[in-house]
Structure 1
Amino acid sequence: MTNILLFAAGFGTRMGALTQDRPKPLIPVAGRALIDHTLDLARAVQPGLIAANLHYKADMLAAHLKPQGVALNVEQPNILETGGGLRAALPVLGPEPVVTMNTDAIWSGPNPVAQLLDAWDPDRMDALLMCVPVEQALGHSGQGDFTRDETGRITRGSGLIYGGVQILKTDRLAGIDEHAFSLNRLWDLMLADRRLYALRYPGRWCDVGTPEGITLAETLLTDV
């Protein structure tokens, strides 16, 4: 069974005053903590393990997540970013491909984790990302992160936004020298080998990175 890592260590600075007294994953959206919406998607695929990396106001998040059976990896003294955070959690997650999930998005449509697991082909892929067409995204500016060809392979470009959910192999993390680094470093290695792939999400998606994103997400959740 695949294990899942929830990224929950960030400072949430774009939320302004809302994250002065709590970490962003605990901000309420439609009456529930933002991270609980992500947990619903993770639990639905019955993973072997759900873990989360913590840093900012880690005690508050630990108190929320530990009773729910989530394994915790606290990053101290410094935050490690997504790549460093994933590498630090590998003793808990194990050596097999891992699903990672950002905890600041709301999905409306099929479960993105289930879709990735159904389409995962490790013989061809080093990572499979769930990407959202720009026109189906709320709360996000810009033209996108990637362009996808007819085989599903992606390159840096426009048209598709990385939605924050992926399945990827982790063996190359050991070869990256930095202590704290973005998963973009790992993606660049996969891009060079033409082994970075994506699915196009068929539903809608909302980035809950700002106070305005909360309102958009709540509208999306009620407009089903």
Structure 2
Amino acid sequence: MRPDAVMLFAAGFGTRMRPLTATRPKPLIKVSGRPLIDYALDQVREYDAAQIVCNLHYLAEVLEAHLANTNILLSREEPDILDTGGGLKAALPLLDRDPVFTMNTDAVWRGPNPLTYLADIWNPENMDALLLCVPKANAVGHAGAGDFLIGPQNRAERGPGVIYTGLQIIKTDVVSVVPDNIFSLNLVWDQLMSDQQLSVATYPGQWCDVGSPSGIKLAEEFLEHADG
């Protein structure tokens, strides 16, 4: 089944973006004059998902105002922020689909639509989640040794290899069964890895992580090159 719902993660505190996030949430930091979240929305709308949900916590009212008069449903996390797994679990009634995409809102892309690319690879018969990753050579603005190794049959293994882009397809039951309300998706992924049900797809284009103030200039240069 083609995934038809997208969960946008936008609740975080944006600590690496300080002081820019003192007055606005990270998804509203501007790159080339546009808020970061709008670049993610471009990809989602091009994919034409039937349902879009965005979670809110830090400076929620600012992001809520930006998303007013759209078809995006809002999952406001109060009083506590719920982390990625808990945030997705809380939003499942609004998503009302299975499986779903989850997508970070702090990156820009160059290449094929990442949601379409991932959906074309998705196989619910032998995957409970599918992570979209990039080789280090195709990642801009991201430090580190990588997040996953790719094992036999494209199964994910922890280790210094490809970099997770913040986009995945995941079945909702593997999240809803977690008894906690606040938890990271890493908890779910670890269980799926032990069950050989976490897969990796490698994005053929380029991806730019806008994780810090210095990343803004990199992202703007990245986008200029994309338009050239």
TM bracket, shorter-chain basis = over 0.9
CA distance in 1, matches of 2:106, 2:13: 12
Aligned to 1:105: 107
Give how far 1:172 is off: 2.2
Tell me the secondary structure at the aligned position of residue 160 of structure 2. coil
Aligned to 1:40: 42
For residues 66-85 of structure 1, the aligned pairs below 5 Å read 66-85=68-87
Give how far 1:67 is off: 1.5
* 8 A Cα contact 2:148 2:158, kept in partner: yes
Give how far 1:162 is off: 0.4
Whichever residue aligns with residue 11 of structure 1, its letter is F
Aligned to 1:9: 11
CA distance in 2, matches of 1:60, 1:24: 11
Worse-matched range after superposition: 148-157 or 135-144: 148-157
Whichever residue aligns with residue 10 of structure 2, its letter is A
Runs of 4+ in 1 over 3 A off after TM superposition: none
Tell me the secondary structure at the aligned position of residue 67 of structure 1. coil
TM-score, normalised with respect to structure 1 = 0.97
Aligned to 1:51: 53
* 8 A Cα contact 2:128 2:174, kept in partner: no
TM-score, normalised with respect to structure 2 = 0.95
* 8 A Cα contact 2:4 2:97, kept in partner: no
* 8 A Cα contact 1:50 1:70, kept in partner: yes
Give how far 1:141 is off: 1.0
Task: Flag structure 2 segments of 5+ consecutive residues without an equivalent.
Answer: none
Aligned length: 224
Tell me the secondary structure at the aligned position of residue 89 of structure 2. helix
CA distance in 2, matches of 1:142, 1:126: 27
For residues 1-224 of structure 1, the aligned pairs below 5 Å read 2-149=4-151, 151-224=153-226
Give how far 1:223 is off: 0.6
Give the RMSD, CA atoms, in angstroms. Answer: 1.1
* 8 A Cα contact 1:95 1:171, kept in partner: no
Give how far 1:95 is off: 4.6
Report the identity percentage.
53
Task: Flag structure 1 segments of 5+ consecutive residues without an equivalent.
Answer: none
